[in-house]
Amino acid sequence: MKKFLNSVDTILSESLAGFASAHSDLVTLDPSGKFVRRNELKPGKVALISGGGSGHEPLHGGFVGFGMLDAACPGQVFTSPTPDQMMEAAAAVDTGAGSLFIVKNYEGDVMNFDMGAEMAEGEVLQVITNDDIAVEDSTYTTGRRGVAGTLVVEKVLGAAAEQGLDLAALKALGDEVNGNARSFGVALTSCTVPAAGKPTFDIGEQEMEFGVGIHGEPGRRRDKMRPADEIAEEICSTIIEDMGAASGKPALLFVNGFGGTPSMELYLMYNSARRIFEQHGVKIARSLVGSYVTSLDMAGCSITLVGLDDKTLSYWDAPVHTPGLRWGM
């Protein structure tokens, strides 16, 4: 294992310290190290809180700031944050309008965010994201996994919260956006968790894991490498089939890197995916390409399609200023 680290025991705390220092104009790391919060809170706005295991950066801490999250709770690498983290984050950023937890559908995350919501003093509702259509049940999940579509939920809800939507309306909007999101990922290599010191799974030079999860969970099958167009064709066709009639709406196309794939290859996959979707009648109204929901050093990518209407398009376009995502200001 070759990684920049001093000790596997301190990699997260040192990384969080560097992140908070580099972006001190936007975020603050709580002295406990349990959560990152935005510097400037808006009184009367619903607080948006997310989190999960580390190793997916910039998700979630990189999306704390104006127009997205108010706080993010990082667990150890690929390990859910503990309930007290969410409770304390809610206490720090709830300005009186309640808190909305945005939770990826992994059993540990769901359980601990549930407990954190019960322990919190203010009103708390939750949105559970489950956009991964590759598999129904996986290593850490009952039902579909929450993956890159979570970023879209956080962006749309962040804008809506800034514009004054109340807690119940935000919960309904989050469920709507999640319901319109479909994702599918492919890994070309494994990732290496620092504490393990070796790849999570073995994969041959000419193999790919089709439908992989963002923690290296098994996908639909192990397959031989194929040209990018063929990989994109199967992913996009699977997404269109799962979306059904909704695939005819204007949509956001999000090609997400897993951490070890160059931008050159991500844009090549975007080019293939856009062409295929448009051939199927999908109107690509917005696009995002980059490594935003990663799996440490895994080579691979996911393709996410999210159906949008005029309302959600306007929220996507609204100004955002976070360490990991910024436009309009």
Tell me whether residue 56 is one of the annotated catalytic residues.
Answer: yes
Q: 84: phi > 0 → left, psi -120 to 50 → alpha, else beta; which?
A: alpha
Which of 23, 56, 280, 321 does the annotation list as catalytic? 56
Residue 250's beta-bridge partner residues?
A: 283
Q: Return the structure tokens found at 142.
A: 């009952």
User: What's the CA gap between 256 and 247, in Å, rounded?
Assistant: 19
User: What's the CA gap between 55 and 213, in Å, rounded?
Assistant: 13
Residue type, 129: T
C-alpha 279: how far from chain center: 28
Tell me whether residue 23 is one of the annotated catalytic residues.
Answer: no
Residues 102, 105, 108, 110: is their CA dihedral positive or negative? Answer: positive
Which of 23, 215, 280, 321 does the annotation list as catalytic? 215
Q: Which residues are catalytic?
A: 56, 215
